[in-house]
Amino acid sequence: MTRHDTRRWSTIALTLALLTLVGVAGAQIGLPHAGFYGALGVDAEARDGDVLETASGVRLELETRGEVLFAVRGEAAFGDPDASDPARAEVAAAIALGTGLGAAIEGPVVEFLRTHTAGLAGRGPSIVGIGRYHLMLDVRGEGAPYTVGFRIALAEVDEGAFPPARHVVGPRDAPIVVREFSDFQCPFCKRYAEQVLPTIKERLLARGDVRFEYHHFPLRSVHANSMRAAEASECAADAAPDDDGAFWRYRDALYEGQAAWSRLADPDDYFVGLADGVGLDPEAVATCLAEDARRDTVERAFGASVDLQLSGTPTVFVGGYRLEDFTDVAAYLETIALIEAFAEPQADAE
């Protein structure tokens, strides 16, 4: 998977305009690709298979996985930003249809393209975030008309970019992976562990083809004891290396006592006491904490989360796709269905 340069200034400008628009209509991406041009109002006679060139010179091409639409890409020439441009409007319409954000997105996209095309010229591929989607723009030229390559697809993290997991529930070789990046001092993470994860276990892990991974992402800038809590959980797992449930029992105890230890200037004694309460050797946990034996482990986990450009907790992925609503099991099932559809072979494959 090619890594594109992410221009934060452009990402923020469009994303903020779209916060209230996510989920307005059903996305074509993830549906049978044969329906895209029909939904766009284009007859089959007007295109060459999955490729369309419009009257204003916009070239559209569909990327498919199996029989479903995976991405829409193309190229267009954008003219004077101070004049109306049908090419910008046609690209915006394709983006609106592909993402399912509908007509309400077209105006903001046209305005973004009008005001930012010149600034992106010559910078190479840049990513603009639109809700769950990434819009890639590659602008070439020294002045209008600019040649603009574009591609809209679900934002996806390459599986190889995720760090290895020590704490796993479910088969290690499961084809579907749910990953939680979490902070023991985060109240929303506590709620996720106590109210959402039991449903995930019941509805998804019971299938046998899904595994759940826990990854540390302690937000130390706002949660003073989060790093130490993560270290203590690793020490707890070390205290009983043959006990697969040691980490998870200790995790539950951390969340149960979150209000108490979050306020402590030095929570180590509290963390040692938790070990005794869940049947683990408190002396082993005390020694591990005193020696900072798992400090590097947690630092590496934090660094991996930063490399993934995560900013809040909990952050939950199904496969390479980040969930917008990680509390709704339907969102997991829909994403799993997408992953399975994208993995289907082409109909004419041998």
pLDDT at position 26 is 65
Same domain, 325 and 201: yes
Same domain, 208 and 136: no
Continuous H helices in the chain = 8-17, 36-39, 86-99, 106-120, 187-191, 197-203, 226-239, 246-256, 258-261, 268-277, 282-290, 295-307, 329-343
- Do residues 128 and 134 make contact, with C-beta atoms less than 8 angstroms apart? yes
pLDDT at position 9 is 38
Mean pLDDT calculated for residue range 189-211: 97
| Predicted confidence band of residue 8 (pLDDT cuts 50, 70, 90) | very low
Mean pLDDT calculated for residue range 251-262: 98
What pTM was estimated for this model as a whole?
A: 0.86
Residue 39 clears pLDDT 90, i.e. is over it? no
Whether 191 is covered by a domain: the verdict is yes
Same domain, 109 and 177: no
Q: How far apart are CA 297 and CA 332, in angstroms?
A: 29
Residue 163 clears pLDDT 50, i.e. is over it? yes
Same domain, 269 and 129: no
Same domain, 14 and 64: yes
| Domain of residue 146, residue span | 5-154
Mean pLDDT calculated for residue range 285-296: 98
Same domain, 172 and 300: yes
Residue 24 clears pLDDT 50, i.e. is over it? no
pLDDT at position 346 is 54
Q: How far apart are CA 182 and CA 218, in angstroms?
A: 7
| Predicted confidence band of residue 34 (pLDDT cuts 50, 70, 90) | confident
Taking only the tens place, the pLDDT of each residue in 102-112 is 888 999 999 99
Q: Determine the distance from the C-alpha atom of residue 266 to the mean position of all C-alpha atoms in its chain, rounded to a whole number.
A: 34
The number of folded domains in the chain is 2
Q: What CATH number is attached to the domain comprising 304? A: 3.40.30.10
Q: DSSP assignment, residue 326? A: T
Same domain, 180 and 281: yes
Same domain, 165 and 52: no
Whether 243 is covered by a domain: the verdict is yes
